[in-house]
Structure 1
Amino acid sequence: MSVWTIAAAQYEPRNRSVAENITHHLRFIDAAAAASCEVLFFPELSLTGPVRNTSLPLPPDTTALRPLCEAATRHKIMVIAGLPVIKNGNAVKGLAIFVPGRQEPVMRPQGKGACLTPLQTDISVLPLNADPTELDPQASVMATGYCPDEPLEQQSTATLQRFAHRYAIAVLKSDYASGTLLGGSALWDEQGQLIVRADRGELLLTGQKLAEGWQGDIIPLR
């Protein structure tokens, strides 16, 4: 019997338009809810689209994000999307955490990734300068939109696999649909064994934590 179902959105951003991206996020949320997912994780900067070699835009107004709050509540699913947040007066990569029943998202710097725990709505984030030994000891999954221990240009799935094995935590990676940024969404278990990996295209990569271990699936977005 499944005790927990999570999903990574393999996502194609919409023209760096926050409004269009919100509408597109809602399609993924509907699909994840239909698959009985309890957590849906999007890649970094999913609400604005990736930015290369330019400064980040300002964060969108939280009122614009209300449809995502309503969807999280309606479907009883936690949604974690990527967007800029302000830290020490500067825009940095961040997470917007939409918790069922809350009228506004919780905003946090992206750090190395979000630490996910079944039935827990207070998500902890591993800071960029933190040692991985500082992972939340209650966490079952490290969800990331990028590779936690190497510069962007050196990222590899092998690094995430080693991370999962070394720190005995499952790793969920969410990527863009083109596959050019991070090499495909994937899930590794606590021993670093690959459970499921996606090719290109818009889809949900799901993981079910069962009594006997993890199982994975790919659900194309229709």
Structure 2
Amino acid sequence: MSRWNIAAAQYAAQHHHVEEHVEHHLRFIIEAARQQCDLLVFPELSLTGPATAYLPAPPDDRQLAPLLAAAREHRITLIAGITIDRQGQRYKGLTLFSPKREAILRYPQGSGASLIPGDKQLTMIDPHSDEPDLDPQATLFTSSQAVGDNSWRQSIGMLQRFAHKYAIAVLMANARSGSALWDEKGQLIVRADKGELLLTGSLSRRGWQGDIIPLG
């Protein structure tokens, strides 16, 4: 692949109406497609809304079908935040919509996911492991978050060190502010301020370049 275009959607989900979140995600997808993006990553719990006393119920395939259709139509891979139920417990999770797959894949959120351009699945990173199980061919590590200022400062420090230590680009999609992209040397390429926007990154033979596109 001579060029790889990726994006993080900075979107703070404020309620628990899945259908409305899906419609909002479609706005980001259309803009990302306009920017010729191959991958779009959303923040934590972007499709369910925030955790209150309990984590919201997981959305079903019927509710998420418009996103799978959009992934196919625009030939864009999507990673969005959901909840999942496993063995009687509810967890934060990620869902993958691939233009090359007919099924919607669901994963526990872990500490993030690594992926290879054009691949049809994610490699989830165990947050409790000292050595992450990174695929040697992986080009990008993604982190879906919804953190405030104090936790955000910790997160960006950790992600920058991760990029440098494992020589992999890192894309962080945060809900309210501070979404960012680092290259494989740990150098910051682009970081967003507050607001609803699309943070984009483009990888070519000259390395990574980034941009910020407001939505609204």
Tell whether the structures are fold-level matches, with TM greater than 0.5. Answer: yes
Q: Would you say the 8 A contact 2:181–2:188 is kept in 1?
A: yes
Structure 2: distance between partners of 1:144 and 1:65:
21
Structure 2: distance between partners of 1:130 and 1:68:
32
* Alpha-carbon shift at residue 93 of structure 1 (Å): 0.6
What's 1:212 paired with? Answer: 206
Structure 2: distance between partners of 1:101 and 1:3:
19
Q: Which moved more, 1:168-177 or 1:10-19?
A: 10-19
Structure 2: distance between partners of 1:192 and 1:29:
27
Question: How high is the TM-score relative to the length of structure 1?
Answer: 0.89
What's 2:39 paired with? Answer: 39
What's 2:186 paired with? Answer: 192
1:103-136 Cα shifts (integer Å, max 9, x gaps) = 4310111111110211212221112223344212
What's 2:67 paired with? Answer: 68
Question: Secondary structure at the residue paired with 2:174?
Answer: coil
Q: Would you say the 8 A contact 2:125–2:132 is kept in 1?
A: no
Question: Compared with structure 1, are the counterparts of its residues 87 and 166 closer, same or farther at alpha carbon in structure 2 (3 Å cutoff)?
Answer: same
Question: How high is the TM-score relative to the length of structure 2?
Answer: 0.92
Counterpart residue type for residue 33 of structure 1: A
State the identity as a percent.
52
Q: Which runs of 5+ in 1 are unaligned?
A: none
Structure 1: distance between partners of 2:130 and 2:68:
32
Instruction: Select which of 193, 197, 201 maps to 2:195.
Output: 201
Question: Secondary structure at the residue paired with 1:134?
Answer: coil
Counterpart residue type for residue 140 of structure 2: V
Structure 1: distance between partners of 2:171 and 2:126:
17
Question: Compared with structure 1, are the counterparts of its residues 27 and 132 closer, same or farther at alpha carbon in structure 2 (3 Å cutoff)?
Answer: farther
What's 2:97 paired with? Answer: 98
Q: Would you say the 8 A contact 1:66–1:104 is kept in 2?
A: no
Is 1:124 paired with 2:118?
A: no
What's 1:166 paired with? Answer: 165
Question: Secondary structure at the residue paired with 1:195?
Answer: strand
Structure 1: distance between partners of 2:37 and 2:14:
24
Aligned length: 213
What's 2:20 paired with? Answer: 20
1:117-158 Cα shifts (integer Å, max 9, x gaps) = 1121222111222334421211111100249xxx95873422
Q: Would you say the 8 A contact 1:87–1:109 is kept in 2?
A: no
Q: Would you say the 8 A contact 2:181–2:191 is kept in 1?
A: yes
Structure 2: distance between partners of 1:167 and 1:57:
34
What's 1:139 paired with? Answer: 138
* Alpha-carbon shift at residue 220 of structure 1 (Å): 1.0
* Alpha-carbon shift at residue 12 of structure 1 (Å): 2.7
Counterpart residue type for residue 13 of structure 2: P
Q: Would you say the 8 A contact 2:145–2:175 is kept in 1?
A: no
Structure 2: distance between partners of 1:218 and 1:82:
21
Q: Which runs of 5+ in 2 are unaligned?
A: none
